[in-house]
Structure 1
Amino acid sequence: MTTTTVGALRETVPGERRVALVPELVPAVGRLGATVLIEPGAGALAGHHDADYRAAGAAVAGRAELLNHADVLLGLHPPSVDPARELRPGQVLAAMLRPHRIPYLVRQWADRGVTAIGLDLAPDLPAAYPLDAEASQSRVAGYRAVLLAATRLDRCLPPWGAADGLFDPVRVLVVGAGHAGLQAIDTARRLGAQVSVVELRHRERGAVTVLGTGLLDLPGLHPVADDRELWEILDQEHPAWVAGLAGAAACHDVVVTTLGLPDRIPPVLLHRAAVARMRPGSVLVDLAVGPEGGNIEGVLPETMTLVGDGVTVIGAGELAAQVPATASRAYAHNVLALLGRLLRGGAPAADPVLGPMLVTDRGTVRHEPTRRLLLEATAVAGLP
């Protein structure tokens, strides 16, 4: 029986401090029947040195050697390698790929015969939850978002002297109760804030109720069944949503927005005019922001701007990377769950969990939104 070699790459994206595999899980990968290669320095920014990996049973190998020998390549982001020269047919690439942002690179992976698996594309199934890196990293980001807002807020959180009744409590509004939103809610409550939540989806509303946090219903809107119905409201910029959310934001000191889907441009939830009407000294953190924009009009990743008379708007970017030890450990558990399914044999496309996570396989682009982007680009270019 041929042994599978798993290789963890060092991240090259500026500001990225996470690593795809931590030393404590190397023995668990070995028990799956795989050997582990680590690129030198891959875990240094997350507090894991090459010696730690060697002690756990991994071998440290340069990038060229790792790319040549690894059957499964692991990373946080798509690796900065030339598919035609540095990848080989049949090789598996697993990372948070966000394929709709890189359609032409996805096409190259398919042409090269690489099987690309998106750890950000786990289906909504109980069996898929251990593989869901989007969920694990979103929880870390939700925690970090509240701390980031607290450092920029013009008041203490919890408010200094609240026990004697001289100060009003800090009011936090969380928009969206997915993984990031739920963690933001829990963190803000633990810090003593009064938390309200805007969420229309039935299942997410139930999760908020379990936390014991109040739901803020917007006049003229009713709960919806799922993402599809919610996005119909957001895409239409329903007047009740626009006016209701703007009014709710004006009554809070901190707003954390989290509404986004992996395959879609984030909807604009708050326009600059609404932000400008908030109390000077308030803070908004947009966790859904990406290169195409975010939930707050005009926001960009890794930015901090002042709107109106001193309202701080923060485009979050990769907040999980700012907590590399915790985020890397959580991600490594997602990777271990992925390897457990992948290495037991069988075609990934036939696996109910792995199938929806496939971006490319057997020479084809399997991720439907990316495939549509490529077809549209081909049609515009007039190619057959």
Structure 2
Amino acid sequence: MAVIIGVARETAAGECRVAVTPETCRKLVAAGAIVRAERGLGRGAHFPDLAYVDAGAQLVDSADDALAAADLVLCVQPPPADVIARLQHGAVLVGMLQPQADPARAAALEALGVVAFPLERLPRTTRAQAMDVLSSQAGMAGYKAMLIAAQLAPRFFPMLTTAAGTIRPSKVLVVGAGVAGLQAIATAKRLGAQVEGFDVRPETREQIESLGGKFLDLGVSAVGEGGYARALTDEERVEQQRRLGEHLKTVDVVVCTAAVPGRPAPKIVSAAMVTGMKPGSVIVDLAAETGGNCEFTRPGDTIEHDGVLVAGPLDLASLGALHASEMYARNVFNFANLLLRDGALAFDWDDELLAKTVWPPRPSASPEQ
């Protein structure tokens, strides 16, 4: 019997992305799967129902109809615990699931014996790049964060020569040079700003400079594992803050993107630093969803402190839902391909991408059919 793949509309507030686009639906059907999609699935990302029908999907009227009999469920955000409870026993669930963040969700997954693959746990290897949802979605988030900064800033980004005189370019600093930070740097450069990038990992200098930015060297290094930064020591943090605080007095726009996986976002921009910035300056904190890099960040809000705007936008990738969905759905399809063998589900636990992504973690095992 063919594998039934279920996809329901996302229910999280502000979430417009989809885990299956018409493009990847067609590929899943070609691989021998039956795709059941809830009506209106792609509305927020501008994919009409007819496009899914043309791609071979079966449209159904509710999430229960899409998921209840599904062997494989694909999603963006984790389904609520009550939805998980209605999945069939032993179903496979793939998405950004964060099971450890919600005890009720974790309990529901375990109670039904759901084989969960939280894609945020995917090893960061060369082979996994085509499945790396964190990177693909961070790119959109960095792009949107810089556009928000440009909108909030009371100044032009590029240098302009006008009959009323010359306008100097805005000075933009991007804190954190991961995927989101590098996209933010590239976007600011395209908008004509004078761009700097700061990261405690010195190896990011070349990447920042390749995008036309200037590397801000504060003399603090925190090289970590897996391409991420490690947490700074207390002494390193004090010295970093002192030097960064002085530099921020000259900056017009700051976009914060620094993150440490599995932990709250590091506090990099202190209240004292914000107080020392020029009136009219703007901070956009992309790390707001994990607490923010700035002490004044309020997730989901924009506040003003002594003339400085501090924005903590949420769901940034969802603001570019069409292209973000196309990238995310391709990531999901590439991972799902590891699970499909001759039209059936199979788990090769000797494959590190499966073994290290599955939740709860399990010891290595021989391939199962």
TM-score (norm 1): 0.87
Distance 1:73 1:84, change over 3 A: closer
SS at match of 1:306: strand
SS at match of 2:196: strand
Matches of 2:94 and 2:123, distance apart in 1: 15
Q: How far is the alpha carbon of 1:84 from its aligned partner?
A: 6.8
Deviations 1:31-51 (A, max 9, x none): 222121111111011111212
Q: Is the 8 A contact 2:228 2:260 kept in 1?
A: no
In structure 2, the residue matched to 1:130 is 130
Matched, 1:334 2:364: no
Residues 270 and 296 in structure 1, CA contact (< 8 A), matched pair in contact too: yes
CA-to-partner distance for each residue in 1:128-155, whole Å, 9 max, x for gaps?
Answer: 1111111111000000001000110000
Distance 1:351 1:293, change over 3 A: same
Deviation at residue 260 of structure 1 after TM alignment: 1.1
Secondary structure of the 1:316 match is coil
User: Do the aligned partners of 1:305 and 1:314 also contact (CA within 8 Å) in 2?
Assistant: yes
SS in structure 1 of the partner of residue 287 of structure 2: coil
Q: What is aligned with 1:255?
A: 254
Match of 1:380 in 2: none
Query: Aligned in 2, Cα 1:45/1:234: closer, same or farther, shift over 3 Å?
Result: farther
- Call closer, same or farther: CA 1:247–1:27 in 2, change over 3 Å: same
1:167 matched to which residue of 2? 167
1:319 corresponds, among 316, 319, 328, to 316
| Map of 2:199 onto structure 1 | 199
For residues 34 and 262 of structure 1, the distance between their equivalents in structure 2, rounded to whole angstroms, comes to: 34
Contact 2:4 2:36 in 1 (8 A): yes
Aligned to 1:300: 298
1:67 aligns with 2:64: no
- Aligned mates of 1:229, 1:160 — CA distance in 2: 38
Range moving further from structure 2, 157-166 or 276-285 = 157-166
Deviation at 1:165, TM superposition (A): 7.0
Q: What do the CA deviations read for 1:334-360 (whole angstroms, capped 9, x no partner)?
A: 111111112136425432112222223
2:61 equivalent to 1:52: no
Structure 1 residue identity aligned to 2:241: V
Equivalent pairs counted in the alignment come to: 359
Which is worse superposed, 177-186 or 350-359?
350-359
CA distance in 2, matches of 1:235, 1:59: 56
CA-based RMSD of the aligned residues comes to 2.4
Is there any run of 5+ residues in structure 1 with no aligned partner, and where? 365-384
Deviation at 1:201, TM superposition (A): 1.6
Tell me if 1:42 matches 2:41.
yes
Give the counterpart letter for 1:60 in structure 2: L
- CA distance 1:342–1:162, shift in 2 (3 Å): farther
Alpha-carbon offset, residue 90 of structure 1: 1.4
CA contact (8 A) 2:109 2:116 kept: yes
* 2:28 is equivalent to residue 29 of structure 1: yes
Q: Which range moves more in the overlay, 206-215 or 54-63?
A: 206-215
In structure 2, how many angstroms separate the alpha carbons of the residues matched to 1:294 and 1:88?
38
Please name the residue that 2:367 is paired with: none
Q: Where does 1:1-384 land on structure 2 (aligned, <5 Å)?
A: 2-61=1-60, 62-82=62-82, 85-161=85-161, 166-219=166-219, 221-222=220-221, 224=223, 226=225, 230-233=229-232, 238-290=237-289, 293-308=291-306, 310-344=307-341, 346-347=346-347, 349-360=349-360
Q: Secondary structure at the match of 1:135?
A: helix
Contact 1:141 1:319 in 2 (8 A): yes
TM-score by length of 2: 0.90
C-alpha displacement at 1:202, in angstroms? 4.2
Please say if residues 268 and 295 of structure 1, whose CA atoms lie closer than 8 Å, have aligned partners that are also in contact: yes
Q: How many angstroms apart in 2 are the aligned matches of 1:114 and 1:325?
A: 29
2:158 and 2:168 in contact (8 A); partners too = no
Tell me the alpha carbon deviations over residues 179-198 of structure 1, each in whole angstroms, 9 at most, x when there is no partner.
10010011110110111111
